[in-house]
Amino acid sequence: MTSIGLAVIGAGYWGPNLVRNAMATPELRLEWLCDLDEDRAKAVLGRYTTVRPTTSVEQVLADPAVDAVAIATPARTHFDLVQAALNAGKHVLVEKPLTPTYAEGAKLVALAEEKDRVLMLDHTFCYTPVVRRIRDLIASGELGDVQFVDSVRINLGLIQPDVDVLWDLAPHDLSILDFVLPEGVSPLAVAAHSSDPIGAGRPCLAYLTLWLSSGAIAHVHVNWLSPTKIRTTVIGGSRRTIVWDDVNPAQRLAVYDRGVDLSTAGADERRAALISYRTGDVVVPALPEREALRGVMSEFAASIKERRAPLTDGRSGLRVLALLEAAGQSIQNDGQRIDLGGPIR
Amino acid sequence: MTSIGLAVIGAGYWGPNLVRNAMATPELRLEWLCDLDEDRAKAVLGRYTTVRPTTSVEQVLADPAVDAVAIATPARTHFDLVQAALNAGKHVLVEKPLTPTYAEGAKLVALAEEKDRVLMLDHTFCYTPVVRRIRDLIASGELGDVQFVDSVRINLGLIQPDVDVLWDLAPHDLSILDFVLPEGVSPLAVAAHSSDPIGAGRPCLAYLTLWLSSGAIAHVHVNWLSPTKIRTTVIGGSRRTIVWDDVNPAQRLAVYDRGVDLSTAGADERRAALISYRTGDVVVPALPEREALRGVMSEFAASIKERRAPLTDGRSGLRVLALLEAAGQSIQNDGQRIDLGGPIR
Amino acid sequence: MTSIGLAVIGAGYWGPNLVRNAMATPELRLEWLCDLDEDRAKAVLGRYTTVRPTTSVEQVLADPAVDAVAIATPARTHFDLVQAALNAGKHVLVEKPLTPTYAEGAKLVALAEEKDRVLMLDHTFCYTPVVRRIRDLIASGELGDVQFVDSVRINLGLIQPDVDVLWDLAPHDLSILDFVLPEGVSPLAVAAHSSDPIGAGRPCLAYLTLWLSSGAIAHVHVNWLSPTKIRTTVIGGSRRTIVWDDVNPAQRLAVYDRGVDLSTAGADERRAALISYRTGDVVVPALPEREALRGVMSEFAASIKERRAPLTDGRSGLRVLALLEAAGQSIQNDGQRIDLGGPIR
Amino acid sequence: MTSIGLAVIGAGYWGPNLVRNAMATPELRLEWLCDLDEDRAKAVLGRYTTVRPTTSVEQVLADPAVDAVAIATPARTHFDLVQAALNAGKHVLVEKPLTPTYAEGAKLVALAEEKDRVLMLDHTFCYTPVVRRIRDLIASGELGDVQFVDSVRINLGLIQPDVDVLWDLAPHDLSILDFVLPEGVSPLAVAAHSSDPIGAGRPCLAYLTLWLSSGAIAHVHVNWLSPTKIRTTVIGGSRRTIVWDDVNPAQRLAVYDRGVDLSTAGADERRAALISYRTGDVVVPALPEREALRGVMSEFAASIKERRAPLTDGRSGLRVLALLEAAGQSIQNDGQRIDLGGPIR
């Protein structure tokens, strides 16, 4: 296989980005852009393209030149599309969330394994230089133990017809968390509160609390109604603390050598006396400016060529679904803490 | 009474600010600074003062030149000190929280009413130009209905021996909320989650969710462990949205004419079609730069002279205590939602 | 003429942006991308295009399907290319600076008029929503008289082989100034200082002072060596003052109702007493997010179709050249003030 | 001498700060606050002080308990006051500028030497932690060669009756420059441009260019008319570059390991090929938060006790005066470059 034949399915909000990045990835060979609305597909491709538009998924899946598909359609269509693609022997890259339920997602993961095809989630943020660096800082021990995670993702967002703010935005935070947490640390329980103050018929803002197996708490705030865009994640560690401010390109990531230390001295001494404060330097690491979706496409191609699981495989999608479902259950029950029954697999 | 004789009790972290502002308030006449540690009181007063230091509260309360006391001692000492002061016929300004329990606070409020003395809480933020403006924007209807409140108050904070982060920091947010919410809107239920990741023996970070009688949610994040200082409150309204960034003096308050509108048209039409987005201008109102504590002192003096309740009276302190107690109860019960049994009085 | 046949010449730093925006402009029909290096042209066009690459300008200019060319080659090649294109009857859009000398530029302007062809400068910033708004604020009198202009454009910049920092960066500031200054106000004299602290063989940082016919001063700071990117223009007016911070998307433009007023009372009164300070609100106008180059392409097409001068015509390019030449002359003469001999035409 | 008796002369804008910091300095013993307007002096001292107000400089200078005076009166009064104080055997701390002319300043420096008294300039910024750190970074070689200095100090400023913006604001920048430049590097020539767009009768904004003996340029922009406060100094070095943003307490100082390198290879090679760009990390050093004026007072006391020249002695004030005078001369001559005739002494 010299290059991998690809079809993009879905020419809506995100599809054009997949098309553009697929076209820029040497290992991929874009064959089709498929959308129910052919004019929309044509508009995305433009007047100067050799890529073919189509409205027929069947045509795409039947084309032997197509080795893989990238799916950017509404979540409710994912199950049927992914299933059909896998059954047609295609590798699949799919937008988050994988499916609207954990049960459906699990079936797709099983099917991909059975068919020996790659099933990859487009957890785009995991392919940004900043998230890669955060993962390294945690994995290398430079951060120390993760003491807390606080993630805010608020903006004036599109109120969507079929997903609430939790399913729309929280997959970003949950997939990042899944990606950066150290080996052996995972969420054990979830609570969530939400609100629909404009009468949109679904939550427009929500707060999630996750209890991690290490004893730490991770918290996520997602909100479609904020006129100001805030995308800040603070990860407190016992040695360093990270502040990731994604709307500040001049200082996207800052590593603080500041914090509170607590010596574990004799129990009869007064605790207060043992606390000390570090107020060291802040380092803003040099990070490459690279479009994350380029990395997604490269990883998709590489995992197909190397016949291995991609970095953000179907199981990472499942873990996100488990958290979203538990959050929904908590909201239904006045914010009750929902146990996940052990680490999610 | 030409000027009001005042004694400040407590020369620790906050006492010096009370001393300085009392000295700058013409209606007040500072007589004493009282602290168990006379050297500390002397150090606060400095070498050039005519104000007397003392270690004896009794001496202060017995002094007929003292009309009022301002108490800035640890919370656990408030009940005895306030009670003694009121019984000695003094007016009282006291730091937040009023007392460590609602029950004790309620006794003091009753005692103050019985003795016909002013009992005022030093809810300092309510006397800042920015909070006054926010209150006006809401009261005048310029904001429209309050749709959500999100308040973040995180910093590298002093781990304190006898209070947790909730009792240390959340009184600020809760007293501000109490101050700015429109007539008739009040919290009905509370849930809270907290964590002590450094083993300090008490919560060092906490999240509070408050369900308001209007159906909206208010959320508070307080954290002692963040190396970066964030103090941002977003108040979303149906007509305008406010962003108050207290660490940005160049733009402390911004009023956004941006948001999501939802027309309430015929039920059979698709909701999505009815949503529209406003993307109007942002206005940064000119606000005076004025030390809030100066306003606290003026209001204390004015309420004494005019024989009226101060803006932040004992009852406002009680309402904050009710919320703190409910939050603590929620934390004890895995984040369970705690009903307040109707508006707090 | 249904659509305008276009060729882009130059596939270097800026050419790809011209290609992309030309392809997105319905009134234009991109026929060729021409570059001496065919591989570079092919790489810019990508693997999926119907646009033809070529290395031959002659072929492009001989093609009757080509009505217009957009030139993005080094400045030293502009004269020959523009001349050839105009002589071939093509309309021309050219990157700034128009030519390396005023004399050459004037010949091209004359030639374009003789041939009745559009000669347009790609003064990109003039097509941004923010500069359009600034122009309106000044033209409408909302700003009052322009009292000063201060423009900073510093960054870690590419040291270029054939232009210095002045010719590289200052055309932006000078073309914006030319665009926004009110009718009847224009530069009368120029002084400039520059420095080459790294031994690059040409100025890497420079300061320009322009004396305007209104008596006000405009000042420009351009610098290739700053590790931090600053692009801030302050335009002080007698009624309002504008701050344009181009690296702050959340607040690109702010209009301050703040300033100093001076009543022109009787001459024998003390001047100091007559000064007053306004400290009114700041308004951040809502501006559309629109790629400026899209506007450039639309204006190029419209001026061709409507047989009229474009907003940034050859003469605007000439006025910029006159200022750049005077600045260079000042630098050669220890910063001497160089008179322009009346308004530049 | 156990403690140093001090009198502050001048209770206007800056005097209260001298009073407050003198009172907090253990080595000093504040005896008097002297002002022509006794009510103003009393208001500054407040109702609770043991410090005596007076309107008589003679009384102060005749008092043997007074060892030193700190002068914060208008610049035009400095010569007479400093002369009288030195003649009375007092040590002197004086606000900038030392005097309105270099000639007067030189007389005072000579007199102080003759009388063996300390003559210190209140170049406050030199006592801030950030300027100390900048000086260290340059002196230690960590910055490499200083390639350029760009300093912006603009704000809505008080239009003053007897000084222009240059004499009001530029002394800050010039004294800092004097303080941080490495041994052996000093200004050799000055050019300046200014403007009075509001008809205030004196320059309200000005630009200064300084040619340094190292070949580098330093540039200063001072402006009373800007509605937004900018205080940013960039110091470009061959190894590191510093950005000092004084209105950003969260990141006052940033040290960039970014820049342009130029290998000095064989002359016949193309220069462009030899340029490389470093894009390393940014470090934000931890700096203590300390009031600069406290450091001024300590240094004044220490230099008196240790019978040595203070860090910012009379000669540093003279060097600032020489630059201000040359700048004024340049403004009078259309911005002509004014040679200083060798390093200023």
Are A211 and A220 contacting, i.e. CB atoms less than 8 angstroms apart?
Answer: no
The predicted pLDDT at position C345 comes to 66
Q: Are the CB atoms for D9 and D71 separated by under 8 Å?
A: yes
Instruction: Write out pLDDT tens, residues A23-75.
Output: 999 999 999 999 999 999 999 999 999 999 999 999 999 999 999 999 999 99
- Cα separation, D56 vs D69, whole angstroms: 13
Chains in contact with A, where contact requires at least 3 CB pairs less than 8 Å apart: B, C, D
* D110 and D218, same domain (yes or no): no
Q: Chains B and D: how many Cβ contacts under 8 Å?
A: 28
Q: Comparing C-alpha atoms, which of C25, C1, C18 is closest to residue C298?
A: C25
Alpha-carbon span B209 to B217, nearest angstrom: 7
Of A124, A173, A164, the residue nearest A319 (C-alpha): A173
According to the model, what pLDDT value does residue A270 have? 46
Residues D178, D277: one domain? yes
Interface size between B and C, measured as CB pairs under 8 A: 31
The tens digit of pLDDT for each residue in A85-134 reads 999 999 999 999 999 999 999 999 999 999 999 999 999 999 999 999 99
Other beta carbons less than 10 A from residue B236's beta carbon: 29
As for how many domains chain C has, the answer is: 2
Query: Is the Cβ of C281 closer than 8 Å to some Cβ of chain B?
Result: yes
Residue C215 in domain: yes
φ/ψ of residue C342, rounded to 5? 95, 170
Residue in chain A lying closest to B199 (CA): A262
DSSP H helices, A181-291, are none
Instruction: Output the CA–CA distances (angstroms, integers) from residue D3 to C278, D29, D302, D305, D311, in the order listed.
Output: 46, 6, 11, 9, 21
CA distance C143 to B243: 27
Q: Could you tell me if D89 and D146 lie in one domain?
A: no
Using 50, 70 and 90 to split pLDDT, how confident is the model at D342? confident
> Within 10 Å of residue B2's Cβ, how many Cβ atoms?
5
Q: Which residues of C touch B234 (CB under 8 A)?
A: none
Query: For residue B342, is it within any domain?
Result: no
How close B206 comes to chain A (CA, Å)?
Answer: 10
| Residues 6 or more apart in contact with residue A110 via CB below 8 angstroms | none
Mutate to test the interface with D, among C143, C145, C146, C148 (most CBs of D within 10 A): C148
Residue C271 reports pLDDT greater than 50: no
Partner residue facing D282 (CB), from A258, A279, A284? A284
Tell me, yes or no, whether A102 and A120 share the same domain: yes
Contact B208, B190 (CB under 8 A): yes
For residue range B262-308, list pLDDT tens digits in order: 655 444 444 444 567 778 899 999 999 889 999 999 999 999 999 99
A345 within a domain of the structure (yes/no): no
Rounded Cα distance between B189 and B55, Å, is 43
Tell me the pTM. Answer: 0.94
- Among D228, D301, D262, which residue's Cα sits nearest to residue D24? D301
Provide the pLDDT confidence category of residue A76 given band limits of 50, 70 and 90: very high
The whole-angstrom separation of Cα D183 and Cα C214 is 44
Q: Of C226, C52, C46, nearest to C152 (Cα)?
A: C226
pLDDT band of residue C343 (cuts 50, 70, 90) is: confident
CA B194/CA B209 separation, integer angstroms:
12
A260/B228 CB distance under 8 A: no
Q: Is residue A318 part of a domain?
A: no
Cβ–Cβ contact D279 with A under 8 A: yes
The maximal CA–CA distance of chain A, rounded, in angstroms, is 78
A1 pLDDT band, cuts 50/70/90, is low
Question: The domain spanning residue A279 has which CATH number?
Answer: 3.30.360.10
Contact C250 A247 (CB under 8 A): yes
C23 vs A11: CA distance, rounded Å: 18
Per-residue pLDDT for C268 more than 70?
no
CB-facing half-sphere around the CA of C185: CA atoms within 13 A: 21
DSSP-derived 3-state class of residue C44: helix
Identify whether B324 is part of a domain. no
Q: How far apart are CA B194 and CA B203, in angstroms?
A: 6
Nearest to B166 by CA among B190, B135, B182, B132: B190
Residues A19 and A107 in one domain: yes
Instruction: Return the partners of chain C (3 or more C-beta pairs < 8 Å).
Output: A, B, D
pLDDT digits (tens, 9 = 90+) for B95-117: 999 999 999 999 999 999 999 99
Across residues B16-37, what is the average pLDDT? 98
Q: Are residues D50 and D26 in the same domain?
A: yes
In degrees, rounded to 5, the angle at the alpha carbon of residue C25 between the alpha carbons of residues C21 and C27 is 145
Question: A187: which strand partners?
Answer: A212
Determine the pLDDT at residue D157. 83
Which of C290, C309, C332 represents a domain boundary (last residue)?
A: C290
Q: Are the C-beta atoms of A277 and B156 separated by less than 8 Å?
A: yes
Per-residue burial over D146-177, b = 16 or more CB atoms within 10 Å of its CB, e = otherwise: bbbbbbbbbbbbebbeebbbbbbbbbbbbbbb
- Buried residues in C87-112 as b, exposed as e (16+ CB within 10 A): ebebbbbbbbbbbbebebbbebbebb
Give the residue from chain D lying closest to C222, CA to CA.
D150
| Token pair in block for residue C25 | 């402009």
- Among B63-67, C162-166, D156-160, the minimum mean pLDDT is found in D156-160
Mean pLDDT of A210-228: 96
Residue D144 and residue D240 in contact, taking contact as beta carbons nearer than 8 Å: yes
Tokens of A329: 């259950």
Lowest mean pLDDT among A254-263, A317-326, C78-87, C257-266: C257-266
pLDDT in tens, B166-212: 999 999 999 999 999 999 999 999 999 999 999 888 999 999 999 99
- What sign for the dihedral angle of Cα B57, B58, B60, B61? positive
pLDDT of C33 higher than 80: yes
Pick from A87, A92, A73: which is nearest to A15 by CA?
Answer: A73
Average pLDDT over residues C153-177: 91
Enumerate residues 6+ apart whose C-beta is below 8 A from B247: B229, B230, B231, D250
**pLDDT at res. D278:** 75
D193 closest CA partner among C336, A325, B287, A259:
C336
Confidence bin at A345 (pLDDT 50/70/90): low
- Distance between CA D46 and CA D51 in Å, rounded? 10
Residues D165 and D268 in one domain: yes
What ipTM goes with this model? 0.93
**Confidence check: pLDDT of C186 > 70:** yes
Q: What is the DSSP letter of D48?
A: T
Pairing of strands B187-195, D225-237: unpaired
- Domain residues for C21? 4-123+292-322
H/E stretch holding A75 reads none
Contact A232, A244 (CB under 8 A): yes
* % chain D with pLDDT above 70: 95
Q: How many CA atoms lie within 13 A of D241 on its CB side?
A: 25
Query: Does A110 map to a domain?
Result: yes
CA B5 to chain centre: 25
Query: What CATH number corresponds to the domain at position C100?
Result: 3.40.50.720
Contact B161, B252 (CB under 8 A): no
Residue of chain D whose Cα is closest to the Cα of B28: D47
Instruction: Report if residue B334 sits inside a domain.
Output: no
Residue D317 domain-assigned (yes or no)? no
Closest CA to D75 of D210, D187, D174, D171: D171
Predicted pLDDT of residue D263 = 58
- Predicted pLDDT at B1: 54
For residue B24, the chain D residues in CB contact (below 8 A) are 46
Interface test with A, best of C47, C252, C289, C294 (most A CBs within 10 A): C47
Residues of chain C positioned with their CB less than 8 A from the CB of A50? 47-50
Q: How far is C-alpha D261 from the geometric centre of its chain's CA atoms? A: 33
B23: amino acid identity, one letter: M
Q: Per residue in C188-230, pLDDT tens? A: 999 999 999 998 889 999 999 999 999 999 999 999 999 999 9
Q: Which residues of C touch D224 (CB under 8 A)?
A: 260
Identify the pLDDT of residue D279: 80
Query: Percent of chain A, pLDDT > 70?
Result: 95
Q: Is D306 exposed, middle or buried (0-12, 13-18, 19+ CB in 10 A)?
A: exposed
User: Which residues in chain B have their CB less than 8 angstroms from residue D30's CB?
Assistant: 48
pLDDT of A320 strictly over 80? yes
Determine, for residues A283 and D286 on separate chains, whether the beta-carbon distance falls below 8 Å. no
Cα Dmax for chain B: 78
| Average pLDDT value for chain A | 93
Same domain, A44 and A191: no
Can you give the pLDDT at residue A265?
Answer: 46
Query: What's chain B's length in residues?
Result: 345
Tell if the CB–CB gap between D49 and B51 is shorter than 8 Å. Answer: no
Quick check: B244 and B252 in contact, CB under 8 A? yes
Nearest to A171 by CA among A323, A15, A337: A323
For D39-52, b/e burial (b = at least 16 CB within 10 A) is ebbbebbbebbebb
Q: What is the mean pLDDT of residues C144-171?
A: 92
Q: Is A49 helix (H, G, I), strand (E, B) or coil?
A: strand
Asked if residue B116 and residue B189 are part of one domain, the reply reads no
Q: Please answer whether residues C227 and C156 qualify as being in contact, where contact means their C-beta atoms are separated by less than 8 angstroms.
A: yes
Residue with tokens 């104080």: D85
Cis peptide bond prior to C97, omega within 30° of 0: yes
Query: Helices D292-305 & D15-23, crossing angle to 10 degrees?
Result: 60
* Range name among B124-138, D222-236, D239-253, D275-289 with the lowest pLDDT average: D275-289
Q: Is residue C282 domain-shared with residue C180, that is, in the same domain? A: yes
From the list D258, D279, D283, which residue is nearest A283 (CB)? D283
Same domain, A267 and A305: no
pLDDT digits (tens, 9 = 90+) for B124-168: 999 999 999 999 999 999 999 999 999 999 998 887 777 899 999
Rg of the Cα atoms in chain D: 22
Pair (A195, A271) in one structural domain: yes
A247: pLDDT strictly greater than 70: yes
Residue C258 corresponds to which tokens in the numbers above?
């703040």
**Mutation target among B145, B149, B151, B159 for the A interface, most CBs of A within 10 A:** B159
- pLDDT value of residue C269: 44
